[in-house]
Amino acid sequence: MSADTADFYKRCILALMTAPVLDGVPYRGPRLQLSKVQLVQEVDRYLVAAGNRPVHISELSEVFKVNRRMLHRAFIDAVGIPPITFLRRKRLGDVHAVLLTGRPHFRLQ
């Protein structure tokens, strides 16, 4: 298991364990003053820079200093889908593009 994959699973487990506590906390530090559309654009740029490394929602919340609910609302308002669906579609779109432009390594005879 790569270090990035291990970090992804660690974040998943931590999110499950801490969600009930963090959801009850109204303030989690200073937030960036971004509009919802700007936030989604910045997240998209971050995902492009991350490449094929798995990115967890808690990582996005931490990097952009917003809670999960605010991230969720921003994605719903800006693109009409939740961030997890956005991440999934982005990964599937990337795989689809590679499959369309890739060349097979072998030929059937």
Total tally of structural domains belonging to the chain: 1
- At residue 71, what is the residue type? L
Domain, as residue range, for 78: 3-26+35-101
What mean pLDDT do residues 105-109 have? 47
Q: Residues 2-15: pLDDT tens digits? A: 888 888 777 777 77
Structure tokens, 86: 């956005």
Residue of 63, 62, 64, 53 lying closest to 87 (CA atoms): 53
Number of C-alpha atoms within 13 angstroms, CB side, residue 15? 15
How would residue 43 be classed by pLDDT, with cut points 50, 70 and 90? Answer: very high
CA–CA separation, 81 and 97 (whole Å) = 21
Residue 78 lies in a domain: yes
Q: How many CB atoms lie within 10 A of CB 56?
A: 18
Nearest CA to 59 out of 25, 49, 80 is that of: 49
User: Does any domain span residue 107?
Assistant: no
Residue 83 has pLDDT above 60, yes or no: yes
pLDDT of the residue at 26: 54
Structural domain includes residue 11: yes
